[in-house]
Amino acid sequence: MESAKSAAALVEPCQTNSARRLTEDDSLRVSVLSEALPYIQRFSGRRIVIKYGGAAMAHANLQEAVFRDLALLVSVGVEPVVVHGGGPEINQWLERLEIPAQFRDGLRVTDADTMDVVEMVLVGRVNKQIVNGLNQLGAKAVGLSGSDGSLVEARPWGDGSHGLVGDVARVNTDVLEPILAKGYVPVISSVAATVEGCSHNINADTVAGEIAAALQAEKLILLTDTPGILLDRDDPSSLVHQLRLSEARQLITEGVVTGGMTPKTECCIRALAQGVGAAHIIDGRVPHALLLEVFTDAGIGTMVVGRS
């Protein structure tokens, strides 16, 4: 509110000489830009790791909004790193090929045929759609999978009963440094090989969290299809705006956080414990959710903070 007032005060003297009076709309635009200034100054030159997937990927208009937000971040000097999933598109292709999709513990059970489809869809199709979309808006994007430059080393997840589902064994960000230094946006699909060279399907939230930790990113932002962590999944007003690490762990143990929200909450915890500045779970169905999170005082979604 304060910044809205000061922006209006700033433009006031110009109005008398202006051909038209400024509308409320104009003042709002100016105040929004003005509010963004401290955030632009704070995040310029900093790295923000963004997990893009789910709802924000499902509709063309939301996709376009995410690409525009990323292009804007780049143009004000932020270094975004995009990690993406692609569940709905994988499901479509599995259906076409008549391979049943199975989920357990919020993870896709992945046999060899499913893995082929996951790799082709994520690395070949979804990755290039994102790269093309960003390039069209002038953000120079480079597509990678976890295997490129041995960025991510995979290991089988849990006891191996989920098939070719992987976890992150190690991250080596060497390949990202020259890409980021040249102003390119790395776009990373969540497929990576084990030391034996066997491709595994890793939850994209997990990959994003570990890359954020390895880069010591300023922020980790996970775009999803709910307003954030809800105490009651059927009640959007039960959104938890902010929670500490210990509280996040408790929500998992108590079973409030389940399914796909579990790897999200876990990766926020791990990223923060390893030095990432802040971790956010936000609603990818809201157009420009990314800008709202990074550049406004209010922020949106659930923020997990490091102090426990």
Considering CB under 6 A, how many residues would be counted as binding ligand ADP? 17
Interactions with ligand ADP, residue window 123-152 (CB under 6 A): none
- Beta carbons within 10 angstroms of residue 37's beta carbon: 12
Beta carbon nearer to ligand ADP, 85 or 146:
85
Q: Does residue 259 bind ligand ADP (CB under 6 A)?
A: yes
CA distance 13 to 11: 6
Indicate which of ligand ADP, Mg ion, none lies near residue 133 (CB less than 5 to 8 Å, by partner kind): none
Distances (CA, A) of 54 to 21, 102, 126, 142, 241: 43, 17, 12, 21, 21
Q: Does residue 260 bind Mg ion (CB under 5 A)?
A: yes
Binding pattern for the stretch 216-245 against ligand ADP, x by CB under 6 A and - elsewhere? --------xxx--xx--x------------
User: Could you say which of 7, 144, 257, 289 contacts ligand ADP (CB under 6 A)?
Assistant: 257
User: Could you say which of 52, 53, 179, 279 contacts ligand ADP (CB under 6 A)?
Assistant: 53
Distances (CA, A) of 49 to 12, 97, 279: 39, 33, 10
CA distance 114 to 100: 9
CA distance 91 to 104: 15
CA distance 308 to 117: 41
Q: How far is the CB of 228 from ligand ADP (least distance, A)?
A: 7
Beta carbon nearer to ligand ADP, 7 or 229:
229
Beta carbon nearer to ligand ADP, 118 or 179:
118
Burial class from Cβ neighbours inside 10 Å (0-12, 13-18, 19+) for residue 23 reads: exposed
Q: How far is the CB of 12 from Mg ion (least distance, A)?
A: 49
Strands (E), the chain: 47-52, 79-84, 103-104, 107-108, 141-145, 152-156, 165-171, 185-189, 191-193, 199-202, 219-224, 242-244, 278-283, 302-305
CA distance 166 to 191: 8
Q: How far is the CB of 289 from ligand ADP (least distance, A)?
A: 12
Q: How far is the CB of 39 from ligand ADP (least distance, A)?
A: 24
- Crossing angle of helices 24-43 and 2-15, rounded to 10°: 120
Q: Which residue is nearest to Mg ion (CB)?
A: 260
CA distance 114 to 178: 33
The answer to whether 184 touches 159, Cβ cutoff 8 Å, is no
Among the residue ranges 42-50, 107-115, 213-221, 250-258, the one whose residues contact ligand ADP (CB under 6 A): 250-258
Beta carbon nearer to ligand ADP, 186 or 260:
260
Binding pattern for the stretch 178-217 against ligand ADP, x by CB under 6 A and - elsewhere? ----------------------------------------
Q: Does residue 258 bind ligand ADP (CB under 6 A)?
A: yes
Q: Which residue is nearest to ligand ADP (CB)?
A: 260
Query: Quick one: tokens of 81?
Result: 């790193």
User: Could you say which of 261, 269, 282, 291 contacts ligand ADP (CB under 6 A)?
Assistant: 261
- Beta carbons within 10 angstroms of residue 174's beta carbon: 9
Binding site for Mg ion (CB under 5 A): 260
Binding site for ligand ADP (CB under 6 A): 53-54, 85, 87, 106, 224-226, 229-230, 233, 256-261
